[in-house]
Structure 1
């Protein structure tokens, strides 16, 4: 039951559940059971509410632009020891910042009497004035006239220069003929006359240029009467916009557990990203601190249809975004005891290299799941570091390709640079064939097919990838269904290209198979492991010049 005590606080029963010992690390987490319970209450409210109108894309025929939304819940403790939760949403709901039962925004940009709306109104008035001036008949006519004059000038100048060249040839011809027919005195007089004709034509050219310069200056002066006014308005608009933006960024002031304030300019040091501070998480923290509520845990879930580019599943939990929220929450969580970032947790590789094949030129390795192919920024242990220890005399690059940290399966390693170049060329030519096996969370109705969805990195939330037809790189995957049972699908993937997270996105995206790989903590639901395994690889041996195939059956 979505019961409001005051503003955005809601009581919640513990029902034997233990409170969390540390606050959630918001960028990689498993939702606490009490957060799941709170989220379910909010979701139930969203199903039946009549407090606002917003098209989440869940009902056929609903009016308005379809906009799915991220919601957040925060488990909190009152000063008297009562446990409850806060609910928040990212951005706006039905073009509203305030909805009963949800925490308010950090700053209300919709307040009609506030500086932002007033400044926005001023900017709109300036824009309207600029548009009116730029479309005014006299201004447009002056621009056209100046443009036409420039064209006429260029044409006349071009024609006169051609005439000059023609006359020069004529004079030269006359000189040659006169040298054969005239005596010296008469020839000198005749050549002097020809020189005068040449000088006269050049004076005429100079006069032509001067005449056109004056005409163009007059037309430009007429145009400048309009453009000066427009330019002044644009300068005024730029100044007002910068001032308004700065004042807005200063108005987004965030508290932390120690009572310290920081605005967007102090947090980001550079230009803050658009809509920074509008996500659910900062709103939840701000309300908690302002009302002396102790944050205990939090979780965020998606409600609505999936957007076209990102992978967002209805009712599924997701981490906070990186580009906007990470710097802000970094400040807001100061003073809280927060779960450690799992990325910084050292994971020692206990297993030895699982060598499937080895000769004097190369090795085929079976990489375990949750092991890096190459060293990362924070974790240095990897398959590559193991290989360097195993092959101390190897020259040049050793690993020819990589697998995601969470993916297990076959990797090719080489012992010399010549072999590396040979295998690398096979990858470039796409003559190397790979087969992956995966288990998907969902039943796929087709038996086989091809997925063609271009990918690029999500700049707001690295390392996740987006489907992007404008800037994405080609990404093509063939697939074949092996088995469908009890809501799960076992599938073979045959990647034609090798983009980052290609198989994971192609499986999860609504335009792909619309069924994330089980255990996918980025595009699906976190599990014990990612059920994706590179089980077979076929290539030409660089020395034997024969096709070789290696297979390691899936461990799941």
Structure 2
């Protein structure tokens, strides 16, 4: 079982505190966290407390995350595109509409299920739910992901991510015509106060986030951009472009009402990955073209411009 510890900074109800504390760094649902409280997996200063317990500054909240049974996460023969593989790492091209790793109530059809079928060894640092997973892409974001095959490479890749030594570049189609040729979105991201499933730009309970972008092509009512992120916050690119009033085209969470009709989802693709190999130190550079639907959309926008 994994344990997560938090120190309370201001008075707050226990359930609200763990919801806000966990949502920035973990993909736990509200119902799952509520179940952990009800099942006595949450302690305050070493004691079990009810969900409505009033926390005080200095209290230590410890959450125990029970491991799922081994039968819950199984290898599945799902086709995946392996761009590169050696004895330490794998680089994959994640398809659209695929969740990276299992979560509560969703233990199948994920990238992890596919990796477990195709790859014999994966690192164990991420736990039962996230073998090999170093970083993630949203369900409807396509493109390149590096996966660790052993704990040594996983630790090094995690350190490199923290030190901003892994270059990740994305292609995105956004609503509206961006007039500047390039720009920087430097705005902290935290949990949305009115919708716990969403993130937003906020000064409260937030973390530093920075996105650099360049305009690649302008259409009549849309813009194709290239984005380089200096931080890896949840939904970062989607939240940042929503913040500057140019949401990602097709984004059913942060986009326009018309985007909810998009069968493809958001047009966001991780097309370039550059880093030094975590074991050999060799320079690694990978590029992958967007999926066919992405290119079809670009051609459609060109024709209508």
Q: Which has the higher helix share?
A: 1
Larger Rg: 1
**CA positional deviation for 1:516:** 0.9
**Structure 1: how far apart are the matches of 2:181 and 2:95?**
29
Who is 1:528 aligned against? Answer: 263
Question: Deviation digits for residues 62-120 of structure 1, max 9, x if unmatched?
Answer: xxxxxxxxxxxxxxxxxxxxxxxxxxxxxxxxxxxxxxxxxxxxxxxxxxxxxxxxxxx
Who is 2:95 aligned against? Answer: 368
Q: Does 1:495 align with 2:222?
A: no
Who is 1:48 aligned against? Answer: none
Who is 1:385 aligned against? Answer: 113
**Structure 1: how far apart are the matches of 2:200 and 2:122?**
38
**CA positional deviation for 1:391:** 2.4
Change (3 A) 1:395 1:434: closer
What is the SS of the residue equivalent to 2:197? coil
**Structure 2: how far apart are the matches of 1:350 and 1:385?**
8
Question: Deviation digits for residues 413-446 of structure 1, max 9, x if unmatched?
Answer: 1111001111111101011001000001111111
1:341-490 matched pairs, under 5 angstroms: 351-381=78-108, 382-397=110-125, 398-490=132-224
**Structure 2: how far apart are the matches of 1:350 and 1:546?**
32
1:132-531 matched pairs, under 5 angstroms: 351-381=78-108, 382-397=110-125, 398-509=132-243, 512=244, 514-524=245-255, 525-526=259-260, 527-529=262-264, 530-531=266-267
Query: What do you get for the CA RMSD once the two structures are aligned?
Result: 2.1
**CA positional deviation for 1:350:** 8.1
Change (3 A) 1:471 1:394: closer
Structure 1: gaps (5+ residues): 1-269, 274-321, 324-348
**Structure 2: how far apart are the matches of 1:364 and 1:440?**
27
1:31-110 matched pairs, under 5 angstroms: none
Who is 2:69 aligned against? Answer: none
**Structure 1: how far apart are the matches of 2:206 and 2:281?**
36
**CA positional deviation for 1:395:** 4.2
Who is 2:4 aligned against? Answer: none
Who is 1:83 aligned against? Answer: none
Aligned residues of 2:77 and 2:118 also touching (Cα < 8 A)? no
**Structure 2: how far apart are the matches of 1:417 and 1:553?**
30
**Structure 2: how far apart are the matches of 1:393 and 1:351?**
17
**CA positional deviation for 1:361:** 1.0
Q: Which has the higher strand share?
A: 2
Change (3 A) 1:363 1:393: closer
What is the SS of the residue equivalent to 1:424? helix
Match of 2:275 among 534, 539, 550: 539
Who is 2:66 aligned against? Answer: none
Change (3 A) 1:408 1:472: same
Aligned residues of 2:88 and 2:148 also touching (Cα < 8 A)? yes
**Structure 2: how far apart are the matches of 1:385 and 1:456?**
30
What is the SS of the residue equivalent to 2:207? coil
**Structure 1: how far apart are the matches of 2:103 and 2:176?**
32
**CA positional deviation for 1:453:** 1.2
Aligned residues of 2:123 and 2:154 also touching (Cα < 8 A)? no
Counting matched residue pairs gives: 209
**CA positional deviation for 1:412:** 0.6
**Structure 1: how far apart are the matches of 2:220 and 2:118?**
44
The structure 1 segments of at least 4 consecutive aligned residues displaced by more than 6 Å after TM superposition are: none
What is the SS of the residue equivalent to 1:421? helix
What is the SS of the residue equivalent to 1:461? coil
> What is the TM-score when the length of structure 2 is the normalising length?
0.65
**Structure 2: how far apart are the matches of 1:350 and 1:448?**
42
**Structure 1: how far apart are the matches of 2:239 and 2:106?**
25
Question: Deviation digits for residues 243-296 of structure 1, max 9, x if unmatched?
Answer: xxxxxxxxxxxxxxxxxxxxxxxxxxx9xx9xxxxxxxxxxxxxxxxxxxxxxx
